[in-house]
Amino acid sequence: MTDEEKKPESSTAGEETSKAVEVPSKFQSIVSEIEKMSVLDLSELIKVLEEKFGVSAAAPMAMAQMPVAGADAGAVEEKDSFNVELTSTGENKINVIKAIRAVTQMGLKEAKDMAEGAPVMVKEGAKKEEAEDIKKQLEAAGASVTLK
């Protein structure tokens, strides 16, 4: 075992103290730098990475709570009607306007107003397949879309 692999075992508590971790060579320099950081620096690094990549280190906690919802989870699966919400047009507004026109059969002015009014409902009460298709078309044009 190398000094780098031993260091986390001696400097951390919990599960890591009972097992050795093999660090692939491509990550050794990163792990080495992380080992040199204080707890405060590591906390700041985690926040930066969460913001940079749009992820959360707290996601496993949300997954742990899902089984508690039991009855509610069944109700979500039975949902057959969805609302498609345009949350943002992104950088290519013209393509989004074209996509809105294609999925709603609106005129140019109405589609432009809808795109500029984001967040806005594009379609309400759509079947699951239709809602997913609309979402796919709008996202392909560069928009951000959520199904509700």
- Whether the model clears a pTM of 0.85, i.e. scores above it, the answer is no
pLDDT of residue 8: 46
Residue 148's nearest CA partner among 119, 124, 115, 130 is 124
Please answer whether residues 144 and 106 qualify as being in contact, where contact means their C-beta atoms are separated by less than 8 angstroms.
no
Q: How many CB atoms lie within 10 A of CB 131?
A: 22
Give the helix/strand (H/E) hosting 140.
helix 128-140
* Average pLDDT of the chain to the nearest whole number: 75
Integer CA distances (angstroms), 31 to 41, 43, 57, in order: 14, 15, 18
Residue 106's SS3 state is coil
Please answer whether residues 118 and 86 qualify as being in contact, where contact means their C-beta atoms are separated by less than 8 angstroms.
yes
Q: How many CB atoms lie within 10 A of CB 5?
A: 14
Domains assigned to the chain: 3-62 (no CATH), 79-147 (3.30.1390.10)
Residues of the chain with pLDDT under 70: 1-19, 57-78
For 66, residues 6+ apart whose C-beta sits below 8 A from its C-beta are 73
Residue 90's SS3 state is coil
pLDDT of residue 20: 77
